[in-house]
Structure 1
Amino acid sequence: MVTQAAEFIPLNIAVLTISDSRTEADDTSGQVLMERITKAGHHIAERCIVKDDIYQIRATLSQWIASPKIHAVISTGGTGVTGRDGTPEAISPLLDKEIEGFGELFRSLSYEEIKTSSIQSRAIAGVANATYIFCLPGSSGACRTGWDRLIEAQLDHRTRPCNLVMLMPRLLER
């Protein structure tokens, strides 16, 4: 539930498309995310398309994690089970903490739309150096589901009873 009493806090969000074949011209999933992010009032901090290669993924994501200007990263692609799908393997070692409930809830919501095909998704989320990271499948439908039904509310400071934004000041506590 979003309450209007609190003031909206815009975040700087980076979008990472992981694909061996997409370009900016045909990256519909990345475009869906960018449109939804800006419509919600957030800022696009960066956008990049990288090959489904764990080292290219890690190189880009590591730069974004190290940047104090980027609050969150949403990736699309590479979460399936084929030989080239390596997003979870690339990103998991970079996470300080995994948000296990994200993947579980994403698959549950996806089940409503695509039934048992939802088991093929290895969507994950976590936090690294105070940067939230969400990894979605490469379809535009999955990106809509992930943003509309999970991520948007958690990146909105007004969502009650709690949200991820209110935790940001405490993420670097040791």
Structure 2
Amino acid sequence: MSKIGENNDFIPVRIAVLTVSDTRQLEEDRSGDTLVKRIEGAGHILADRKIIRDEREQIAEQLRAWIADDGIDVVISTGGTGLTGRDVTVEAHRDVYEKEIEAFGTVFTIVSMKKIGTSAVQSRATGGVAGGTYLFALPGSTGACKDAWDEILVHQLDYRHPPCNFVEIMPRLDEHLRRK
């Protein structure tokens, strides 16, 4: 189903990784490490990486800072997408979205169902766009990060992926901000 288009050259995108956790440090951030390995392995550029506590405003503030940074095209966060009281990453993402990519969560759930069955209903993975930057919130497990990258993001962040992908529409994501 997924194949590489022969007429397009690869375009690396600049991706920031945000781990949301009250307990993890960089040395033990296996989910963040998983994403970094896959991002760089695919030929993309790791633009920045941070760990932030499960605090809605702090998460939203970091997302806004990266959205304002011309050196970042995509933000992928991991952690805080569950159902417990401290899981506020999805709400923080939605605080900054201009448009939500509803199908991202749906496709992630389909991918997860094949791996973890009905436990997939507990994930609230989400995607959106703000200020010309793509934003994706993934669960904190390494398996979920692998699944989201390997089954969805590696293809959608590859300009060579037909029939369409996120990279080809990147130049038009903020066109509404340029129109006056």
TM-score (norm 2): 0.95
How many angstroms apart in 1 are the aligned matches of 2:18 and 2:7? 33
Counterpart of 1:54 (choices 56, 80, 85) is 56
How many angstroms apart in 2 are the aligned matches of 1:61 and 1:169? 20
Is 2:72 the counterpart of 1:70?
Answer: yes
Q: Structure 1: where are the runs of 5+ without partners?
A: none
Trace 1:1-174 onto structure 2 (pairs within 5 A). 1-174=3-176
AA in 2 matched with 1:59: E
Shift of 1:58: 1.0
Shift of 1:5: 2.9
RMSD (Å), alpha carbons: 0.7
How many angstroms apart in 2 are the aligned matches of 1:171 and 1:130? 5
- Per-residue CA deviation, residues 40-67 of structure 1 (Å, 9 max, x unaligned), is 0000000000001001101111100011
4+ residue runs of structure 1 moved beyond 6 angstroms?
none
Shift of 1:121: 0.2
Paired-residue identity, %: 51
- Per-residue CA deviation, residues 77-134 of structure 1 (Å, 9 max, x unaligned), is 0000001000111110200100000000101110110011100000000100000011
How many angstroms apart in 1 are the aligned matches of 2:60 and 2:107? 25
AA in 2 matched with 1:53: E
- Per-residue CA deviation, residues 30-49 of structure 1 (Å, 9 max, x unaligned), is 00000000000000000000
Shift of 1:19: 0.4
How many angstroms apart in 2 are the aligned matches of 1:169 and 1:36? 24
Residue 6 of structure 1 aligns to a residue whose secondary structure is coil
